[in-house]
Chains A and B, each alone.
Chain A
Amino acid sequence: NAGVMQNPRHLVRRRGQEARLRCSPMKGHSHVYWYRQLPEEGLKFMVYLQKENIIDESGMPKERFSAEFPKEGPSILRIQQVVRGDSAAYFCASSQGDRAYYGYTFGSGTRLTVV
């Protein structure tokens, strides 16, 4: 069981480019959460997805950010037209369900740098 796999580990994008961050949950986990950690700040919730459904996107910026979790394949966090302020570590966590007793497994994160 490989755990939660995030790739790439590091991503450098120029301003205006698109960034695609991937998260493969643990085997048997159908719930995925994305969190963002801005420099010198704490982790903040972005979006919660189940297979083919966005359940809660209350933490997503209104523009340029989107997320999906297709029936097959990893969950994708997409940032269009990146700006310097998007530079952060993006973490994905997966769970068997949305009940607290399931617990979470985190990935190693993707460090996005916008130059």
Chain B
Amino acid sequence: KNEVEQSPQNLTAQEGEFITINCSYSVGISALHWLQQHPGGGIVSLFMLSSGKKKHGRLIATINIQEKHSSLHITASHPRDSAVYICAVSSGNTGKLIFGQGTTLQVKP
């Protein structure tokens, strides 16, 4: 079993829909990260969380430390949100990241 699990693996939505991507982890963490990767593109850091909730534009990230679970929500989804969303945790004392397998999101117009 991977230390960081994401669900779903693939997600197709219609433009305007509310989207949720889930992430569960099994290790102690110092922070959890949500990253975005467009096909053939680089990696962009969306959020870094150690507790509670953060919001940036149409994106919201939450974390429940007790349940070892985080969610990424996208409100009013748009085709430009189509990308791979990756959950990662920093664990241990070197800051290296452990990644989930990613969720491939396609938003159709």
Contact = CB atoms under 8 A, between A and B. Distances in A.
Interface string A47-61: 010000001100100
A39 to B, nearest CB: 12
Interface in A83-115: 91, 93, 95, 97-109, 111
B43 A33 contact: no
Contacts, number: 68
Nearest to A89: B40
Contacts of B96: 33, 45, 48, 56, 59
B86 A42 contact: yes
A42 B45 contact: no
Given A42-B101, A100-B30, A91 B42 contact: yes
B25 to A, nearest CB: 13
Interface of A: 31, 33, 35, 41-45, 48, 55-56, 59, 91, 93, 95, 97-109, 111
Interface of B: 29-31, 33, 35, 40-45, 48, 50, 86, 88, 90, 93-102
